[in-house]
Structures are given as structure tokens and as C-alpha cells.
Structure 1
């Protein structure tokens, strides 16, 4: 990476490849960062041009060329041209890295927007489940004792939804803290670097690893929340089916009681008529006996 004169050999740098890998990873990562923190630090990541040592050296060589013999002028000119070429390559690489940093900033903003949309969708689903649970509690407050179990189930659903929301908030805070720590670590590392190109290459590798880890953690969180939401929906359907089954059972029982009551009433009417007929016959016999006496 360094030639015999201690100058930076740009041809051997792998910084562009590392930056490209970082760009590929960060596009699919819905990173969460506060405004002015992660995204601004990436957009502000610039590398100062190295001092134009080649130009100064060229002037020094030019001043010495007037005092040297004609035989030494040709090697000195070649040295100046070589140093100038190295400087041009260095500036070209720095400009390319700055452009790639700008692209990374745009990609990070797009990823942040996507993450925000995903969070809003999950929050909306959780809010919908909470609202449905509250509506069921209000509706079932006037039901009989047989439906009281549904109220308890709805409370459990609400608690599960709140737990899922709390876990999502904790994960978001954890990711934000990790990104802030990486940003602070980058600032500390850059302050002790000797060259801007070495600092950028090292930081790009760290950012790539952080992006991969954060993406993996976000995927796991999304899967967990999706499973919880599916479970809540299943529990809601089961609760609705249980309520419907209970109401159907009570309705059937009422119909049976009504039929039994009608049958008992009918039997009572028949018994009353039979007794009335017997009493009338007895009264008639009594009257006839009295008439004979």
C-alpha cells in the first residue's frame, strides 16, 4: 500500500469495494436514527485533501534544477511527474469516496422512511386489536354470567397487545442506542487516524457490520410481532366463536324451557277439565240422590 518513498499507493486501496458493500447492505436496512445524528454524520463524512506535498516538492525540485547539472534534470522531472500522478489519483479516489458517501446518505434516508412505514403499519394493527378488544368489553358488559369469560379473554388480548407495543419500543430504543454508540465510536476513531483514507475504509467496514447486525435484529423483531399479531387475531376469532356458541346454547335452552312450560300448561288444562267434569258428575249424582229422598 506504501511505495519506497512513503507515499500512499491508491491503486492498492480496497476502499471503493468496501463502500460498495456497505451501500448494498444499507439499502435494505430500515435504520432508525434521530435527525441530525446518524444520517447527518454520514452526509458530513468528508475527507480533507492531503497536503499538496507533491506540488511543494515540485517547486523545491524546480528551484534546485537551476543549480544542478544538466545530467540530473531528467530524473528529477520524472520524480515530479510521478508524485503529481500519485496526487491526482489520491484526489480522484477521495472525490469518488465523497460521492459514494452522498449516495449512502440518500440510501440511509430511504431506509429510514421504509422503517417508519413498517412501524406505523404494525402500530396501526396493534391499535386496531386494542379497539376491537375495548368494543367487545363494552358490548359484553350487559351479557349474562355465561359470557363473563369473554371479558377476561379480551383483557388478556389487550395486555398482549400492550406487551408487543412495549417490546417494539424497547427494540427501537436499543437500535437507536447502538447506532449512537457506533457514531460516537466513529468520531473517536477518526480523531486518532493518521490519514483520511484509512479512517474511511475502517469506518465503512464497521458500518457494514453494524448494518448487518441491526438488519438481522429488526427482521427477528418483525417476525416476533407478526407471530404475536397472528396469535391475537386467532384468539379474537376463538372468542367470537365461543360467544356465538354460548348464545346459541342459551337460546336452545330457552326454547326447551318454553316448550316444557307449554306442555306443562297444556297438561294442567287437561287435568283441570277432567277434575271439573268429575266434580260436575258428582254434583249431579248428589242432586239426584237428594231428589229421590
Structure 2
């Protein structure tokens, strides 16, 4: 593959002249412009746009680091960030942390970190790694979307968007208990940040508050998918005794669990109740519709872009982070 030096040699000009042709061809004399054009055609040269942007350090591109692209929760997050960034004339590139086994740094081996104008970290399942990454690259404009307020003290709080997932799960768990459910099963996934899993923490704290013990806790080492939810519900059914309710820490798993229960002729909510967290679109349209906790992902994403643009363009921004409330949404799966 031809490089810029090859073009310069064939055209009989300097590399700087070829670079000027690629950026401002109107400033070149006609003879040199024609020589460069002829060399480019003969060599079938294609300029490296990424490299050009790296030199000027203004790619007008934002990198979004999400957990799993297939999850509707992260898809909604990315779509909102993408549309909001367009208003400021920025494009967005989406990375899935699952593609590199959870190692954020590996994502930037082919395209260096400093190519991007800024980053939004939405890696909720390993907040410790997100904070550590942000500290290592503190010169890069960056916003972190956090699942717990504990990280305000570990990083620049003005660069954190926060929603209290622990409190969200507490709300839905308390509602299940208020409906007479004492024997509650919990399903989720094991994460790398096992010491600080806010949703599981909220469930256990609430059960202890009311003097209750979980029916079971099923956390597979898999991704948050409908298939994982289906398998988790299947494991609960193997326990022999049916719980009063199942609390899933994501809607996408709850939809899978709902289908598993239906396949085993267990009716929701007649035989047991089902609730979850996120309020993705599936939760509003499955049957029965899911009781869940609304994570205001659109509002959080818009605020993330606002804070990031303020950093990238050196504009005034908030001195402290932004927190969002999680609202309990009651639907048919618990009625």
C-alpha cells in the first residue's frame, strides 16, 4: 500500500507539498498540483484520514464505551448520545467493552486515545476500572456515567453523571414486600466489580431491613440477555419451591425469565410476581408489562454530552456532578 512518501517521490516533490495538496490544493502551483494528482492516481494512494486528524488533534469525534451493544439499555444510551452530539457537530464511535474482555485500554490499540475529542464511559459493571482509566488519562476530556455516588470522592465529581441503582432496587424490593411477598428470588449476573454491586446490595439491604431471607440468588457468569434470564429462572424452578416473586436486576433478563415461567405454565402475577430495573422499551410491551424502576437514560445521556462538550470546548460547566432519581413504575407483572 502506497504511503505519502511514495507519492512525493514519484511526483518529484517534497512530502510537505503532498500534504499541502491533500489539505489546501488551491495553494499549489498548477504544475505541482498536476504532478501530485498524477502520482496519486498511478499509485492508487488513499490518504489516512485518521492520521491527518491526529496531526491536527481535532477529530470532532467522541468515543462511547458501553457494556454490551446488543442490550437495549445501552443501545438507547448510545442513540441518545449520538443524536445529542450531532447538535454540537460531533460524530460518535461506539465500543463494546465485552469485545476486549473488559480491558478498556485494549480498545485504543488500533486507534489511539488522543485521536478522540472526548470520551463517555458507560461501563456500569466495573466502575473501579472506569475510574482508574479516567485517572490515568486525566488530560483527555471525559465523562463517566456512574451507578453509585461513592465515586464522587474518587474522581472529579464535575465529570460524573450519577443514578443511584442501589436506591432503585430498594424501591422495587420494598414494593414487592408491601404486596405480601416475603420469599423473593433475585437474578442477575456476576460482574468484575463484585465488591460494589449496587443492585445486589440494595436487594440484600432491603431484605435484611424487613427481617427476610432471599428465596435464592442466581447470578450467572454471563451477559445480561434474555437467554441468561431464561436460564436463571430455570435454575430457580429447580429449587423445588416456588418463590413469591422474582426480582431481576435488568429488564432484559426479566423478559427472558417471563418466557421461562410461561413455558413451565407458571402465570405472572397469579402464581408469582416479577419485577426488574431499567424500564427499557421491552418492559412496556411484553405481556404482562413489567413493574420496573425507570433509569432516566435519555436525560443522563443528554447531560453527559453537555458536560463533555463543555470540557472539549473549554466552556464553563458545573462544579459538581449531576444526580438523577430512579422512579418506580408499577405495571401488571405485580398486580
Instruction: Please give the range of the TM-score, normalised by the shorter of the 2 chains.
Output: under 0.3
Structure ranking higher in helix proportion: 1
Larger Rg: 1
Q: TM-score, normalised by structure 2?
A: 0.21
Q: Which has the higher contact order (CA 8 A, sep 6+)?
A: 1
Q: Which structure shows the bigger proportion of residues in strand conformation? A: 2
TM-score by length of 1: 0.23
